[in-house]
């Protein structure tokens, strides 16, 4: 009976220690760093600063846009953003995080939120919005974006909204 009680106490202590270690590993500072980085990324988009946007990406970033277009790597995604800014000079995107979960042992985080994009098409102003998911990786103390997925849920304004481009 004593051996069984000792085993139960040992297992309970290990579970508590593991839980405390996991909670301590996801520090509020990691979440704050990701939120701050997202705000800087939004500011770079507002400024149409492609290099500023890309400084938060890993070299092999993968982005799936709201139109389901996909691109891998810094060069392809940077080029896509540059073309968007040329075609639509009033383009703005804002991503607003709703939750961030950090898995510190793997130096990875999930960001879920809402996004909105605005620009002017030939037939008038457009606003598209939806949900997004971003995967972050912590590399040498910096949180960088590994991948992003944008799903549209609403679109207002012009023919652009009537079918996927």
Instruction: Examine residue 10 and state whether it is found in any structural domain, yes or no.
Output: no
Instruction: Examine residue 82 and state whether it is found in any structural domain, yes or no.
Output: yes
Instruction: Examine residue 52 and state whether it is found in any structural domain, yes or no.
Output: yes
Q: What is the 3-state secondary structure (H, E, C) of the chain?
A: CHHHHHHHHHHHHHHHHHHHHHHHHCCHHHHHHHHHHHHHHHHHHHCCCHHHHHCCEEEEEEEECCCCCEEECHHHHHHHHHHHHHHCCCCEEEEEEEEEEEEHHHCEEEEEEEEEEEEEECCEEEEEEEEEEEEEEEECCEEEEEEEEEEEEEEECCHHHHCCC
CB 143 within 8 A of CB 34: yes
Residue 112 maps to which CATH number? 3.10.450.50
pLDDT of residue 24: 44
pLDDT tens for each residue of the chain, 165 residues long: 555 555 454 545 444 444 444 444 556 699 999 999 999 999 999 999 999 999 999 999 999 999 999 999 999 999 999 999 999 999 999 999 999 999 999 999 999 999 999 999 999 999 999 999 999 999 999 999 999 999 999 999 989 999 888
Instruction: Examine residue 20 and state whether it is found in any structural domain, yes or no.
Output: no
Instruction: Examine residue 14 and state whether it is found in any structural domain, yes or no.
Output: no
pLDDT of residue 82: 97
Instruction: Examine residue 11 and state whether it is found in any structural domain, yes or no.
Output: no
Instruction: Examine residue 127 and state whether it is found in any structural domain, yes or no.
Output: yes
In the chain, the number of structural domains is 1
Which domain range does residue 109 map to? Answer: 27-159
- Count Cβ atoms below 10 Å from residue 161 Cβ, excluding itself: 16
pLDDT of residue 13: 46
Instruction: Examine residue 111 and state whether it is found in any structural domain, yes or no.
Output: yes
pLDDT of residue 158: 87
């Amino acid at each position: 009976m004593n051996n069984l009680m000792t085993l139960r106490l040992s297992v309970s202590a290990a579970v508590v220690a593991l839980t405390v270690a996991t909670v301590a590993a996801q520090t509020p500072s990691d979440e704050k760093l990701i939120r701050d980085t997202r705000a800087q990324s939004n500011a770079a988009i507002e400024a149409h600063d492609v290099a500023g946007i890309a400084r938060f990406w890993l070299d092999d970033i993968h982005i799936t846009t709201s139109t389901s277009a996909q691109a891998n790597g810094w060069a392809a995604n940077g080029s896509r953003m540059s073309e968007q800014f040329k075609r639509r000079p009033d383009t703005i995107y804002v991503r607003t995080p709703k939750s961030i979960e950090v898995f510190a042992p793997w130096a990875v985080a999930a960001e879920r939120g809402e996004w909105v994009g605005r620009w002017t098409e030939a037939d008038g102003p457009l606003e598209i919005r939806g949900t997004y998911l971003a995967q972050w990786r912590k590399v040498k103390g910096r949180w960088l974006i590994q991948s992003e997925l944008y799903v549209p849920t609403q679109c207002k304004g012009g023919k652009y909204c009537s079918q996927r481009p």
